[in-house]
Structure 1
Amino acid sequence: MSTRRILITGSTGGVGSVLTQRLTHEYAITGHDLTAQPDADPVVLGADLADYDAVRGLMDGIDTVVHLAGAASPEASWEAVLDANIIGTRNVLEAARDAGVRRVVYASSNHVMGMYDRYEQWPVYPDTPPRPDSFYGVSKAFGETLCRFYHDEYGLSVIALRIGWVAGDPTTKDADVLHAMWLSEADAARIVRRAIETDVDFGIYYAISDNPNRRWSMTNSLLELGYRPQDSWADEAPADEPVVEGGVPVADDWPAGS
């Protein structure tokens, strides 16, 4: 089978850099950032996501788009998420459709459901009604709905991943809710790989490591995608760190500072 050509939008960001490094030996990767980096390896193309023609220029010959780019903070303003996450996501989906791209892997977020976390109303399932905790979460909920539309209306295959907290060292934060949603760098590559390769045409899936204190269902991630997380917060935790049944209370201002 020929090597899939993968476009990673936002490839120079935190998660994008991890995926580029870990997947580059399996796929022919093209990176993307706001500014082109022609000397990078792999090459990084430049495009403003709010500029449709620029986004369309990224797509020729691409098999799968892993769409990570956009405003990534739960404290981002409405103006920031409007251009980067709402208009930008529409442009990526439309350009992918027009170019005949096989699949888009959409980086959604745990913040789509963040109010359940703020009020400790667990467990949360992929089909639980969205309840965003920020304009960022709202933009990701919009993105999931737009992905559903592009699949239903145009037949574009889209796998949306509700990504948890990606960090190389989860002990840098002491918030239990972050530990519960930790996604190791290796597991991030594992679930994106499964999202690229699965026979499923559409779905919304939680992307979290095998943490014993997690509150978000990954049943469909395991059964439909074949995702098998290998890492766990418990393996990184201090020896005296307990796993509290039902979860530790979350700060009333969640997700501030997350």
Structure 2
Amino acid sequence: MPDPSSPAPIRVAVVNDHEVVVAGVAAMLAGDDRVRVVELASRVPVLSEVDVVLYDLYARARVAEQQAGRLISSLSVPVVLFGWQLDDVLVEEALSAGARGCVPKSATAAELVDVLTRVHAGEVVVRLEAVAEESADDHGEERALPGSRQLQWPGKAEGLSARESEIIALITQGLTNEDIAARAHLSINSVKTYIRTSYRKMGVERRSQAVLWGVQHGFAPEAARRIG
């Protein structure tokens, strides 16, 4: 039975372009009575009355020129950004746009909830520690970032790492290798390595096959909302 003296849980909306991504973040938060996910929104405005919006940066590079910047400026509640690559430039863009928090996906569920709680209390919280680029070894295989087992992303069941998944999502959206390198702040050789290892896991050889595979496996952005 809930303790009537305990504070009410913080109401959180999780937002991203991909329904499977927001569902994975919501699952990560489940079980902590300090927060309650009341809405999952992909490519649609947040409708519920919430205290904090958690914006997942999956397959997104910067803030200023993308949906995250528009979302932050349009909401009257604090926004926390959640992503693999939180460098100084992205954080500066986010805070300038009005974000109140930035937290890496290497954070544990408890650490993420702690950030949401502090932001809700009025703090600006930026965590950058333990964020490292996934690296390919001599065999082209990637090591997942610490804590990545807590999250879900398109293609995870088929063996794609989080970074490979984001690259395939960008390919599915029609970006060239040069576009992906610029957007994800990677070298063109790194992009090609991620594509090569991803294609092997996906069982495809050509870009057209990769796009079709991506559409069939949830990589195309979709509009969806779940409330409650």
State the TM bucket, normalised to the shorter chain. 0.3 to 0.5
Q: Which protein, 1 or 2, shows the higher relative CO under an 8 Å CA cutoff with sep ≥ 6?
A: 2
TM-score of the two chains, using structure 1 as the length reference: 0.32
